[in-house]
């Protein structure tokens, strides 16, 4: 009952973007990057083939069980071979796979494309928090913009803040700008993941992984560590705040001043 109610409520049109998980959510969060839009479109594409295959297989199975039941068909046929049908049931599924593979590869390679990034953000996973560096603004060996980002504990939450998702220091980035996130870890495996941005990237000690992002709208995007990394794995969320370029410049200037 509760599930049904939640499902019905969640299927109502919403008045704002869904950039954080929601109770009883079963679908995707709203996309904020072309990559996430592509992922959702590919999911729907593949779902079409899935529905066709499921309907066809169940129709075949039901008909077979009905027509070839021992009572209805006491003397079985002795056919053991059929060249035409064997060609059909080999070629047809492989054509379906090709139809899935082509858009899938197009998306996969476009997700990997780093388009001359204007801003690079380095995210470092720790047990159990994230730290960030904006190395573009370094003047000396000391990082000019670097900070830790811890989850806000439940007791410290302000009204309206999201439990287990809010952090003390958000990652601020400009909208409509080619971004690059460089991801690594200081201790064990973590994973830097934000559903609305279509990013899920392993944070591996001793290795730099990179993902591009182009955020199309302003907003606050919530994500979580997505690789089991110890007892507080659930308590190292990620918050990315996408702001207009002028606000971003002001934010960076402020951070450099602090340092
Ligand atoms: Cu860090 Cu899970």
Distance 47 CA to ligand 1 centre (A): 31
Distance 11 CA to ligand 1 centre (A): 31
Between strands 129-133 and 119-126, the pairing is antiparallel
Ligand 1 cavity residues, CB under 6 Å: 125, 128, 190, 225, 227-229, 233, 236
pTM: 0.85
Q: How far apart are CA 255 and CA 92, in angstroms?
A: 59
Ligand 1 atom closest to the Cα of residue 229 is 2
Q: pLDDT for 40-86, tens place per residue?
A: 999 999 999 999 999 999 999 999 999 999 999 999 888 888 999 99
Ranking 92-106, 138-152, 186-200 by mean pLDDT, the lowest is: 138-152
3-state DSSP call for residue 107? helix
Q: How many angstroms separate the Cα of 38 from the Cα of each of 22, 41, 196?
A: 22, 5, 12
Mean pLDDT of 125-144: 90
Ligand 1 atom closest to the Cα of residue 226 is 2
| pLDDT greater than 90 at residue 12 | no
| pLDDT greater than 90 at residue 199 | yes
Distance 225 CA to ligand 1 centre (A): 4
Residue 155, number of CB atoms within 10 A of its CB: 5
Q: pLDDT for 209-244, tens place per residue?
A: 999 999 999 999 999 999 999 999 999 999 999 999
Mean pLDDT of 79-100: 93
Mean pLDDT of 26-40: 95
Give the pLDDT score at 231: 96
């Amino acid at each position: 009952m509760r599930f049904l109610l939640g499902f019905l409520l969640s299927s109502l049109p919403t008045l704002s973007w869904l950039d954080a998980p929601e109770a009883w959510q079963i679908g995707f969060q709203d996309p904020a990057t072309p990559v996430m839009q592509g992922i959702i479109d590919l999911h729907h594409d593949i779902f079409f083939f899935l529905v066709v295959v499921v309907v066809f297989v169940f129709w075949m199975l039901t008909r077979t069980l009905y027509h070839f039941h021992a009572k209805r068909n006491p003397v079985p046929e002795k056919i053991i071979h059929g060249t035409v049908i064997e060609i059909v049931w080999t070629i047809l599924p492989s054509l379906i796979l090709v139809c899935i593979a082509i858009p899938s590869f197009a998306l996969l390679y476009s997700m990997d494309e780093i388009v001359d990034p204007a801003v690079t953000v380095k995210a470092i996973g720790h047990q159990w928090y994230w730290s960030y560096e904006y190395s573009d603004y370094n003047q000396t060996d000391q990082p000019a913009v670097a900070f830790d980002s811890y989850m806000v504990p439940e007791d410290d939450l302000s009204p309206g803040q999201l439990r287990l998702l809010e952090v003390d220091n958000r990652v601020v980035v400009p909208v409509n700008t080619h971004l690059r996130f460089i991801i690594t870890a200081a201790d064990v495996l973590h994973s830097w993941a934000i559903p609305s941005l279509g990013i899920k990237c392993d944070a591996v000690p001793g290795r730099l992984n990179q993902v591009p992002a182009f955020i199309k709208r302003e907003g606050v995007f919530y994500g979580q560590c997505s690789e089991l990394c110890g007892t507080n794995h659930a308590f190292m969320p990620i918050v990315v705040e996408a702001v207009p370029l002028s606000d971003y410049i002001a934010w960076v200037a402020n951070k450099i001043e602090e340092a």
